[in-house]
A and B are shown apart, each in its own frame.
Chain A
Amino acid sequence: MADLLFYITAAFTVFCALGVVLNRNAVNAALCLLLSLVGVAVLFALLNAYLLAVLLVLVYAGAVVALFLFIIMLLDVRADQKRPFKLVSLIASLAGLALLAGGISMLLTRGQLSASPPPAAAAPVGSVLKSYAELLFTTYLLPVEIIGFLLLIAMLGVIVLCKKFESLEDVK
């Protein structure tokens, strides 16, 4: 049952990811990204990381994709809908994709990834909320504080980036 669900979700996620890349319309690409993220969230749930699945849907699908859609509507980019892909960039990106896929398949076939046995009988470690909190507030306390500071800096940066242009337009 879980196998079937994995393969269905994997196919769905890859299909939607291809939709992000190949869709001419930026709004459609953003909605494909949303579906792909929901697929990854289902995979997280299959891996027993329920909290991360919920967070992925909340943060990515809720905030990030909404922000993308907002900016697409704000900028009103319609110029590239009719523009075909350039042959040079198509060849270059296909070559890059082939190199990356070749390297990864070498890693998968020759590596020792399948050596570690899946702890099926052990308690699913990602499904207990308490263990997350324990790690976050003991071992990873300093990174949590740094991340909080980083969010503050990002907020200040966004304010500065937007405010500067308003003042420039006022000067004009």
Chain B
Amino acid sequence: MTGLNEYIGLSALLFAIGFFGVLLRKNTLVIYMCLELMLVAATLALVAFSRFNGILDGDIFVFFILTVAAAEVAVGLAIIVALYRRRQTVQVDELNSLKN
């Protein structure tokens, strides 16, 4: 029987992969996808906790996370499009106006 530990371990692994991607990649869109991956990993942990403790509050919280994530993606992608129109790039290492 798969227990809570397996689900939390998988969730942590997915979160770590997303974190790795955020640090490794330079494309803003791919970084954003990795952020979404981390968010989904957190929801998996919440659902697993909720199931193994026999309460529903974690599931309700996942509702709110899904809603906030949808709003966040819409606003974030609008910002990326605005940035691309202004600077003609989405690579984070070329967006260095504040560097010097």
Contact = CB atoms under 8 A, between A and B. Distances in A.
Given A43-B44, A125-B51, A126-B47, A14 B34 contact: no
B47 A21 contact: no
B27 A80 contact: yes
Interface in B40-70: 40, 43-44, 47-48, 50-57, 59-60, 62-64, 66-70
Nearest to B6: A6
Contacts, number: 223
Contacts of A55: 63, 66
Nearest to B73: A64
A20 B33 contact: yes
Interface of A: 2-3, 6, 10, 13-14, 17-18, 20-21, 26, 29-30, 33, 36-37, 40, 43-44, 47-49, 51-52, 55-56, 59-60, 63-64, 67-68, 71-72, 74-75, 77, 79-80, 83, 85, 89-90, 92-94, 96-97, 100-101, 104, 107-108, 113-114, 116, 118-120, 122, 124-126, 131-132, 135-136, 140, 143, 147, 150-151, 153-155, 157-158, 161-162, 164-165
